[in-house]
């Protein structure tokens, strides 16, 4: 026997859908907070290493590199321990700060960033020498 009317059925269905939507939003909020925690860590670590978004470094007299973003992600090492890997994104710019090849960026590992010599290794292991501009 049908124990509820269509109106009651739809109301109950809507109630569940509303609750499901609330959980979806809470999940999104948690993900955003988790990402923000990593982003904050990347910013702090970058600042400690003297790397901030907007800073420009000169590779030679024609190409400059501008820091466009700092990001971080969790990495599980072979020993099973988790660590945070911070990435520095750089964009090649000309003397006026305009991207030489728009959309193309270089990503570096911050922990391989030598703040004394501004020497870094990109993610495929090729060395990039950066000179303070």
Partner 1 sequence: MSTTEQQVIEQWATLVAQSEQHEAAMHALQQAADDFLTDYATQLANRHGVEVGQIYRNTTTGDFWLVRGFQAGVFYLDNDDPQSFLRVRVQVQKVKKWKPLRRFEQPLLQQFVDSETLPKVNPKLHRYEFTQQEMVL
User: What are the distances in angstroms from CA 109 to CA 40, 96, 113?
Assistant: 16, 26, 7
| For partner 1, the closer CB: 21 or 100 | 21
C-beta neighbour count of 70 within 10 angstroms: 22
For the chain, what is the total number of helices (H) and then of strands (E)?
A: 1, 7
Which residues of the shown chain bind partner 1 in the complex (CB under 8 A)?
A: 1-2, 4-7, 9-14, 16-17, 19-21, 23-24, 26-28, 30-31, 33-34, 37-38, 40-41, 44, 74, 81-84
Nearest approach in angstroms of CB 63 to partner 1 is: 33
For tokens 């700060």, the residue is 97
User: By the 8 A CB rule, do 16 and 45 touch?
Assistant: no
C-alpha span between 119 and 133 (Å, rounded): 13
Nearer to partner 1, 39 or 68 (CB): 39
The minimum distance between CB 87 and partner 1, in angstroms, equals 15
- Of the pair 23, 61, the CB lying nearest partner 1 is at 23
Residue with Cβ nearer partner 1 (19 or 100): 19
Q: Minimum distance between the CB of residue 10 and partner 1, rounded to whole angstroms?
A: 5
């Amino acid at each position: 026997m049908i124990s509820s009317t269509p109106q009651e059925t739809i109301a109950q269905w809507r109630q569940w859908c509303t609750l499901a939507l609330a959980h979806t939003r809470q999940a999104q909020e948690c993900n955003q907070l988790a990402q923000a925690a990593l982003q904050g860590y990347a910013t702090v670590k970058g600042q400690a290493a003297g790397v901030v978004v907007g800073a420009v470094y000169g590779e030679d007299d024609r190409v400059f590199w501008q820091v466009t973003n700092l990001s971080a992600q969790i990495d599980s090492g072979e020993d099973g321990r988790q660590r945070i890997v911070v990435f520095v994104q750089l964009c090649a710019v000309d003397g006026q700060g305009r991207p030489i090849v728009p959309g193309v960026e270089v990503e570096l590992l911050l922990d391989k960033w030598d703040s004394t010599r501004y020497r870094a290794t990109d993610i495929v292991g090729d060395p990039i020498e950066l000179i303070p501009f």
